[in-house]
Amino acid sequence: MRRIYSTCILLFMALGLFAQSNSEIADEKLQAFVEKTKVPGLSISISQKGELVYSKGFGFADREEQVPVDPSKSKFRIGSVSKTLTAAGLARLYEDGKVDLDAPIQRYVPIWPDKGEKITLRLLAGHLAGIRHYKGTEFMSRTKYEDVADGLSIFINDPLINKPGTEYAYSSYGWNLISVAMENAAAPQASFLSSKNFLKFIQQEVFDALEMNNTVPDHADQFIANRTQFYQFRNGEAVIAPYVDNSYKWAGGGFVGTTEDLCKFGQAHMKAGYLKQETLNEWMTSQRTVDGKETNYGIGWRTFQRPSGNTFYGHSGGSVGGITFFMMHPETETVLAIVGNMDPLSYAGLQYELMEMFIK
């Protein structure tokens, strides 16, 4: 018994040293990354089985005011990771029987014109609907849109770029259309009828439900506590980014939040509970084109197949002044979320390296 006890003590000590080593290695890699890229502020959180195992801030949320990054409070622009959050709201409507993923979109958005092809929520959510992406200066929009339906005006009269189902073509605007459908599908049962049904629905069904208390719409014209300053890398230095208003694309790229909130979100998608297991499977399974080609994109979830044999699920996100990466590994119930308050910014595989280091 004494020998077994001693062996157990040594094992626990070894595991403790291993965990400490992981944290120290992560610190070194991330500090070197911050120094090399000159990103003013970086936040990273990693959780396993519902517990944070690594959560740190590097640099400044606001460099000019010398406000340090706090991964529990600092709200960064998460860009297209907003699509994955919106997909959770769509899943709630789906499980309540409020939406049919394969019905013509006009069932939920009557103002959408007939373009000669059937468009569905499933195709839209998988970037298979033939809706165009940004063009020109649209990504730098400064226009305030009062509701999600107004955002359709940007592209509603444009032709489809391909026949729905035939080709994967990434489109944030497809998620504009999804948000209007969600708003209309939820409205008859909602007690919050207003000009911002979609945002209130996401607040109630996703953020509140998962206790994501530091994730909110990025209202450019409002004060938001702990929102970071945003920067762009120009001529070898990080400078304050120009003003933009992301109200034209709430569902596809309009939220700000913390890395710790994203860990909460990921942990809620590991197994049945918040959503049914069948829904989780369907949302994360790659869709296919009509000729059978996998897209590595489900319903708001991207699949990342690694050379190591690991498979991760999640999303990346690019914003004016924010670059995010979020992914989870269901087998070990591990989530990683990393975000910097500068664009452009490439993690150059560091996110995968850190994830695989912690799941071993």
Whether the pLDDT of residue 99 is over 50: the answer is yes
287: left (phi over 0), alpha (psi -120 to 50) or beta: beta
Assigned domain for 293 exists: yes
Per-residue pLDDT at 285: 98
Percentage of the residues of the chain whose pLDDT score is greater than 70? 92
Give the residue-averaged pLDDT of 128-134.
98
Q: Are the CB atoms for 133 and 167 separated by under 8 Å?
A: no
Assigned domain for 3 exists: no
Assigned domain for 87 exists: yes
Assigned domain for 167 exists: yes
- Residue carrying the six token digits 């308050």: 341
Assigned domain for 8 exists: no
Assigned domain for 9 exists: no
**What's the total number of domains in the chain?**
1
Assigned domain for 86 exists: yes
- Residue carrying the six token digits 């990080």: 238
Q: What is the CATH number of the domain that holds 212?
A: 3.40.710.10
- Residue 186 tokens read as 């939820």
pLDDT tens digits along 144-153: 999 999 999 9
pLDDT tens digits along 258-311: 999 999 999 999 999 999 999 999 999 999 999 999 999 999 999 999 999 999
The full DSSP string for 170-193 is --SHHHHHHHHHHHHHHGGG-S--
Whether the pLDDT of residue 83 is over 90: the answer is yes
Report the predicted TM-score, pTM, of the whole model to 2 decimal places: 0.92
Q: Are the CB atoms for 40 and 239 separated by under 8 Å?
A: no
pLDDT tens digits along 299-344: 999 999 999 999 999 999 999 999 999 999 999 999 999 999 999 9
Per-residue pLDDT at 193: 42
pLDDT tens digits along 154-178: 999 999 999 999 999 999 999 999 9
| 214 three-class SS | coil
- Residue 21 tokens read as 């080593």
Assigned domain for 4 exists: no
Burial class (CB in 10 A: 0-12, 13-18, 19+), 349: exposed
pLDDT tens digits along 201-210: 999 999 999 9
Q: Which domain holds residue 196?
A: 23-359
pLDDT tens digits along 223-266: 999 999 999 999 999 999 999 999 999 999 999 999 999 999 99
pLDDT tens digits along 13-63: 544 544 568 999 999 999 999 999 999 999 999 999 999 999 999 999 999
